[in-house]
Structure 1
Amino acid sequence: MATVAEALNLALDHHLSGRLEEARLLYGRILEVDPDNPHALHFAGLLAAQTGAVADGVAMIGKAAARLPLAADIHGNLGKALMALGTPDGAAQAAAAFRNLLALQPDGAGDWFALGGALIETGDGPAAHRALTRALTASVATDSEPLAEAFERAGMLLYAAADWTGATEAFRKARTLAPQRAEAHRKLGAALAQTGDPEGAVEALDEALRLDPTLADAQTNLVHLLVTLGRFDDAERAGRRAVALDPGNADAYGNQVPLLEQTVRVAEALRQCGRAMRIAPQRAAFHRNRLSLLLHEGRRDEAVAAGREAIRLAPADAEAHLALAVALLASGQLREGWEEFEWRWETRQLDPVHRAFPQPQWTGGEDVAGRTILLYAEQGLGDTLQFVRYAPLLAGRGARVIVGCSPALVRLMERVDGVSGAVAWGGELPAFDLHIPMMSLPRAFATDLDSIPAAVPYLRADPADVAAWWERLPADGRARVGLVWAGSPRTVRGVASPIDRRRSLPLAALAPLADVAGVRFVSLQMGPGAAQLAEAPAGMDIADPVAGVRDFADTAALAETLDLVITVDTSVCHLAGGLGRPTWTLSRADACWRWLGNREANPWYPTMRVFGQDRSGDWSGVVARLRAALTDFVAMHGHVS
């Protein structure tokens, strides 16, 4: 009579030779005699899984693993059988089995690959990426197509979890393993776009399209990246190719909208947006894009409706809430606008670390008497200059007010009524009890159109600095008019921001002002735009004292010596308005929300007059009105030529 060992060897010979029914019967007889034999359980379980009885196979191999916990091959085969179940629970148990295997023999590239595959099925992208990286490190083969595919799948999990860096690393490895896989390049491009590397993203997508020119998604995604880089002609060509490749893809039309908006083709942008919405009416992003276009055309009520529809479709879309906030504020619906504006912290536009304080944020209801409150800058210089007006109101409630701001604003902020001290943002902060970001102050004070704290001046220059500027620019009987014609370019990789391109105009465009008698212009222009002074319009007498300007306290003192400030929508308009100086603000057609659709009189600044464009990109009408108004201003104030 054969021994169990001999029977097991015979059964295994049947099994390996393809005589599966003979092997199954013999494994069964062995287990009748020795039901706990781990080897018989292992091989019988493998045969069961191989012939379709996967659950039975898992049960038998699991018993074998429990009896031989140090047998690496049994743990490996258990993992494979569990994966064959095709269930999330099976994948999770398979990952545990592969980990047991790797604890016994940690150098097997295939085993790490198997663990990575199991972890992908469980949805654990970071762990899968780590396992696959170990497989790559352990493997001598660097062109493995299956490993490349696994890295792609892990990358997609990381991408879905918004781990853009992890996704980028995974897709880079996939591309290295299989450089001819167009999809690896496409996915890498998508991840790089999310990390804020448009150049790298374009390079990856270009390579994907070189390998496979029919990749419509790659062509579509190229459009907005090329717009980001200011490559408008290339973006237009990419947009045409995207539509040709997939005319039923809503994004092929929707991604052209920012290009058309930034090149001031708003009507065409609305048409493309409409095409995208007809294909995918449930996409909140298209309604959000339409909102922006409607604001361009001054259709503020329709813009609000578009924002509400975007939020109905995607209630948690922070960008949609922020877009609605802008439309509400621009239409004068301030109370609701401030509420929606709080969603800005959930977008990628602001860094929430700025307000990661242990102290609570003041929201308006708490008593601040006897407490120190930090007001801090969160966005641009102009925003700080506009909203520090609330500091005296807080001081009036008994608070000690500290302002955290740009170093360029510290000296000026220290002179605001009610401000006890100002510190450069990013440096060491003094002790405080409460905090609030500057642009949350209107919400905290429940500000509406009728309750804007508009008493000016709330900004004040140092009288000694003002006297010094009077000496530098002595009066000669002419009206002294400050000029700012360009905003801050805020370049990203050398490309000016779209808003700055629309709000700025060349100094040459102001040439019609040159022959207004009785005017002496004074440049307040900082940054790259100041270089245009070298080619100032003929006959335009422009003094340029800004070399002596150290910060906004100096600019404020200089502005106090002027009869009028003419400026594009940049920080100087808020400075001059807050000082109570006569201020004329030149505003683009798609005006910033605070100008309320380019109303000539603005409730935030009683001494300001807004000159808004009639058409996007066309400053000629603004300059013509400006020339007439300046002529009247000089005559009214009795200045001599």
Structure 2
Amino acid sequence: MATLQEALIMAVDSLQAGQPAQAKHICRQILAVDPENGNALYLQGVAQAQMGRLDEARDSLATAAARAPGNADIHLNLGRVHLLAGRFQEAEHSLRSCLALAPGHGGALIELAKTLSSLGRFDEAAEVALEALQSEPGRSDTRAVLSEARREANDPIGAEEHARAGLRTAPGHPQLLCTLGLALFQQSRIGEAVDALTGAVTGDPRNWRAHFNMCRIHLGLGRLAAAWHHLDQGYAAYPDGPFAGRARQFPEPRWAGEPLAGEQLRVWQPYAIGEEILYAGLYGEIAERAERVVIDTTPKLLPLFRRSFPGIDFIPRADPPVTKVAGITRQCSAFDLMRWLRPTEATIPARRRYLAADPSAVADSRRHFDALGAGPKVGISWTSSSTADTGKSLTLEALRPLLGLPGVVFVTLQYGDHEKEIRALRDRHGLVLHPPGDFDPFTDIDGLAGAIAALDAVVSIPNVTAHLADALGVPTVLLTRPFVQNFSLREGRSLWCPNIRPVFRETDDAAAIGRLVDAACARLRDVLNDGAA
């Protein structure tokens, strides 16, 4: 009969041979004889983690850490388990405990950098990844983590530099190609991004991040078959999907296109409010398929969505979310609705409107706009407050030819404080931007919807305003880069948004912006003359 030490060695050998179930079985035998054996608990936790049983792994490793608090490797693996399970604060605590015992531990530094990125602390993540790179200069995965942290910190050029530096020493490295592709994607270098991400999935067909981002790019290009191919490949490699941290918070099975008769479906939001409005175009259809639909919704959208879809239960979106809703049998992200309800372009309906503004708010806005004088009333939104704004924003000064179109009355739909810029436009050029009414466009989405529904047209950069205008059926001139994911622009139209008419901004130089504004003037005149987008 093997001694306990020999049994531990056998468990280690099983783990190294890729046999975690065997390792777990051996550890259970050891613990039956010696329940206090910290090494067996540790190896059992590692085996459970490899088997994807993260809660069990956490319990085993936490108990092992309590019994052997000076073992840095236990804290490291406990941190990894917390990170995989989306428990980022717990992961940081465990990884810092490891580093307190083993300063400069390369593996712990890499995992800590990933954790800090998951917590949105991207500059800190980059600093930690750089420290890891200095301690182990040859590690390609460290360079990839550093590149990703720089990209998330809105430094895609720095991210590209780090990815290319890593690829010089490790050509064809799938993780580095993936991070390079994402950095290029963020710079709107779409062709190069596709090449890099294609290299990533060629080198590692189970690189789920590359597949999911290829899906995003192909969606933006309006290539549904390619987009869904990569989405399905990504799910096959990583069943938790692109929104794993949030997906794990919902206990029900994920809906993957099966019939929903008799089912109660919960839909949760993976993205921000603009995408939430876009995906709302699918809500009416999914409600017809399921017995009951419950949708997590940003609170300020609740009045608008409840009015537009009276047969759906909308609950306030919270972070962390309400994890259990009575009666639910399936769950999915709103993004998944697009996959299963829009498998081909032929399944996209030729509708013009799916949201219903408050009739009293529309009437109030019409009275307000009528008082501004004769002529078509056009709303405008020109800038973004997003730190990830990759060249969307414009200035009112650049838009002067548009704002000076004869006979057109312009109304600002811009949220935030832009009074100084609006006043300068009036004082220097005599051009007036009127307020939309007595509401805050940022906090009062229902008021904003009422104002937009009362307008003849909207001019906007890609943002919430553009999505809302399209959903309300208002003709919208979109001032945009040639590629913008959420609108899927192709052949002068948007695949998802039939009321959108794009005009393109190729570069950021003054001449290109001048051409953009000239094209916007022509497009707006066409829209106003036709009375439709």
What SS does the corresponding residue of 1:454 show, helix, strand or coil? coil
Superposition deviation, residue 485 in structure 1? 2.5
In structure 1, the partner of 2:300 is 408
Amino acid at match of 1:187: A
Does 341-350 or 306-315 show the bigger shift? 341-350
In structure 1, the partner of 2:131 is 219
- Counterparts of 1:50-61 in structure 2, within 5 Å, are none
**Aligned to 1:478, which of 357, 375, 381?**
375
- Pick closer, same or farther for the CA change 1:166–1:634 going to 2, 3 Å: closer
In structure 2, the partner of 1:154 is 74
- Counterparts of 1:93-112 in structure 2, within 5 Å, are none
In structure 2, the partner of 1:284 is 174
In structure 2, the partner of 1:144 is none
In structure 1, the partner of 2:432 is 541
What SS does the corresponding residue of 1:183 show, helix, strand or coil? coil
What SS does the corresponding residue of 1:389 show, helix, strand or coil? helix
| Structure with higher RCO (Cα < 8 A, 6+ apart) | 2
**Aligned to 1:576, which of 469, 494, 497?**
469
- Counterparts of 1:507-518 in structure 2, within 5 Å, are 507=396, 509-518=398-407
Superposition deviation, residue 325 in structure 1? 0.9
What SS does the corresponding residue of 2:377 show, helix, strand or coil? strand
- Pick closer, same or farther for the CA change 1:274–1:371 going to 2, 3 Å: closer
Q: Find out whether 1:592 has 2:485 as its counterpart.
A: yes
- TM-score (structure 2 length as normaliser): 0.72
What SS does the corresponding residue of 2:349 show, helix, strand or coil? coil
- Pick closer, same or farther for the CA change 1:524–1:554 going to 2, 3 Å: same
- Counterparts of 1:54-453 in structure 2, within 5 Å, are 82=5, 88=11, 116=38, 124=46, 127=60, 130-131=63-64, 133-134=66-67, 147=70, 150=71, 152-161=72-81, 163=83, 168-173=92-97, 176=100, 182-183=103-104, 187=108, 190-191=111-112, 193-195=114-116, 196-197=118-119, 202=124, 218-219=130-131, 246=137, 252=143, 255-256=146-147, 259=150, 273-293=163-183, 295=185, 303-304=193-194, 306-338=196-228, 340-341=230-231, 343=234, 345-347=240-242, 351-353=246-248, 355-357=250-252, 363-366=256-259, 368=261, 375-394=267-286, 403-416=295-308, 419=311, 422-425=314-317, 436-453=332-349
In structure 1, C-alpha distance between the alignment counterparts of 2:435 and 2:156, rounded to whole Å: 36
In structure 2, C-alpha distance between the alignment counterparts of 1:400 and 1:84, rounded to whole Å: 53
Superposition deviation, residue 476 in structure 1? 0.7
Work out whether residues 402 and 422 of structure 1, in 8 Å CA contact, stay in contact via their aligned partners in 2: yes
In structure 2, C-alpha distance between the alignment counterparts of 1:571 and 1:412, rounded to whole Å: 14
Amino acid at match of 2:521: L
- TM-score (structure 1 length as normaliser): 0.62
In structure 1, C-alpha distance between the alignment counterparts of 2:122 and 2:528, rounded to whole Å: 57
Work out whether residues 599 and 610 of structure 1, in 8 Å CA contact, stay in contact via their aligned partners in 2: no
Amino acid at match of 1:407: P
* Number of matched pairs: 487
Q: Find out whether 1:558 has 2:451 as its counterpart.
A: yes
Q: Find out whether 1:455 has 2:455 as its counterpart.
A: no
- Pick closer, same or farther for the CA change 1:589–1:460 going to 2, 3 Å: same
In structure 1, C-alpha distance between the alignment counterparts of 2:255 and 2:99, rounded to whole Å: 50
Work out whether residues 404 and 423 of structure 1, in 8 Å CA contact, stay in contact via their aligned partners in 2: yes
- Pick closer, same or farther for the CA change 1:437–1:628 going to 2, 3 Å: closer
Query: Structure 1 vs Structure 2: percent identity of aligned residues?
Result: 21
In structure 2, C-alpha distance between the alignment counterparts of 1:628 and 1:204, rounded to whole Å: 41
In structure 2, C-alpha distance between the alignment counterparts of 1:320 and 1:288, rounded to whole Å: 6
Deviations 1:101-133 (A, max 9, x none): 897xxxxxxxxxxx5567657775865664554
Superposition deviation, residue 631 in structure 1? 6.0
What SS does the corresponding residue of 2:379 show, helix, strand or coil? strand
In structure 2, C-alpha distance between the alignment counterparts of 1:372 and 1:168, rounded to whole Å: 37
Deviations 1:73-113 (A, max 9, x none): xxxxxx7xx3799654799999998998897xxxxxxxxxx
In structure 2, the partner of 1:229 is none
Deviations 1:302-354 (A, max 9, x none): 64454343234334333122112112223332134235436574345650146
In structure 1, the partner of 2:52 is none
Work out whether residues 457 and 528 of structure 2, in 8 Å CA contact, stay in contact via their aligned partners in 1: no
- Pick closer, same or farther for the CA change 1:304–1:198 going to 2, 3 Å: closer
Amino acid at match of 1:416: S
What SS does the corresponding residue of 2:425 show, helix, strand or coil? coil
**Aligned to 2:520, which of 621, 629, 635?**
629
Please list every run of 5 or more consecutive structure 1 residues that lacks an aligned counterpart in the other structure.
1-57, 63-78, 104-114, 137-146, 207-216, 222-241, 490-495
Superposition deviation, residue 262 in structure 1? 7.5
Does 602-611 or 185-194 show the bigger shift? 185-194
Amino acid at match of 1:383: E
Work out whether residues 126 and 150 of structure 2, in 8 Å CA contact, stay in contact via their aligned partners in 1: no
In structure 1, C-alpha distance between the alignment counterparts of 2:294 and 2:28, rounded to whole Å: 55
Deviations 1:117-157 (A, max 9, x none): 67657775865664554566xxxxxxxxxx4xx3x222333
Work out whether residues 392 and 462 of structure 2, in 8 Å CA contact, stay in contact via their aligned partners in 1: yes
CA radius of gyration, larger in: 1
In structure 1, C-alpha distance between the alignment counterparts of 2:34 and 2:495, rounded to whole Å: 72
In structure 2, C-alpha distance between the alignment counterparts of 1:102 and 1:262, rounded to whole Å: 46
Work out whether residues 110 and 142 of structure 2, in 8 Å CA contact, stay in contact via their aligned partners in 1: no
Superposition deviation, residue 420 in structure 1? 5.0
Amino acid at match of 1:158: L
Work out whether residues 186 and 204 of structure 1, in 8 Å CA contact, stay in contact via their aligned partners in 2: no
Amino acid at match of 2:115: Q
Work out whether residues 83 and 118 of structure 1, in 8 Å CA contact, stay in contact via their aligned partners in 2: no
- Pick closer, same or farther for the CA change 1:375–1:205 going to 2, 3 Å: closer
What SS does the corresponding residue of 1:566 show, helix, strand or coil? strand
Deviations 1:181-206 (A, max 9, x none): 64159835742641545769849967
- Counterparts of 1:585-624 in structure 2, within 5 Å, are 585-588=478-481, 591-592=484-485, 594-596=487-489, 599-615=491-507, 621-622=512-513, 624=515
In structure 2, C-alpha distance between the alignment counterparts of 1:383 and 1:198, rounded to whole Å: 20
- Pick closer, same or farther for the CA change 1:95–1:193 going to 2, 3 Å: same
In structure 2, C-alpha distance between the alignment counterparts of 1:383 and 1:354, rounded to whole Å: 21
What SS does the corresponding residue of 2:345 show, helix, strand or coil? coil
Work out whether residues 79 and 95 of structure 2, in 8 Å CA contact, stay in contact via their aligned partners in 1: no
In structure 2, C-alpha distance between the alignment counterparts of 1:356 and 1:250, rounded to whole Å: 32
Work out whether residues 457 and 580 of structure 1, in 8 Å CA contact, stay in contact via their aligned partners in 2: yes
- Counterparts of 1:5-24 in structure 2, within 5 Å, are none
